[in-house]
Amino acid sequence: MGARRCPDGHRLVVSILAYVLGALLVAGAVVAVLWYREQKPSSLEDGIDEFHRELEALAPDWQPPVRRSTPPKDGDTFG
């Protein structure tokens, strides 16, 4: 018995598998990069900084109310 030659169909299957594997690797790399970019820092200082930014967003430049030096006029309800 002599050695058997691989039919050309075998090359086609290997070519398709290589293409699918390459596409999966590229997709996996893209998913990994996007996941890494969306990760939030987890240190204590980062949590404090985030809390401070949220407080600033709620009340950016809070100033205490200024008292009037003159008494309000009749009918003036805003003091």
Q: Please, what is the average pLDDT of the chain?
A: 81
CB neighbour list of residue 47: distance below 8 Å, 6 or more residues apart = none
pLDDT per residue over 5-19, tens digit each?
Answer: 556 678 888 999 999
Regarding pTM above 0.75, the answer is no
Domain residue spans of the chain? 11-58
pLDDT at 75: 63
pLDDT at 22: 97
User: How does residue 59 score in pLDDT terms, banded at 50, 70 and 90?
Assistant: confident
Compute the distance between CA of residue 30 and CA of residue 61 in angstroms, rounded to an integer: 41
pLDDT at 26: 98
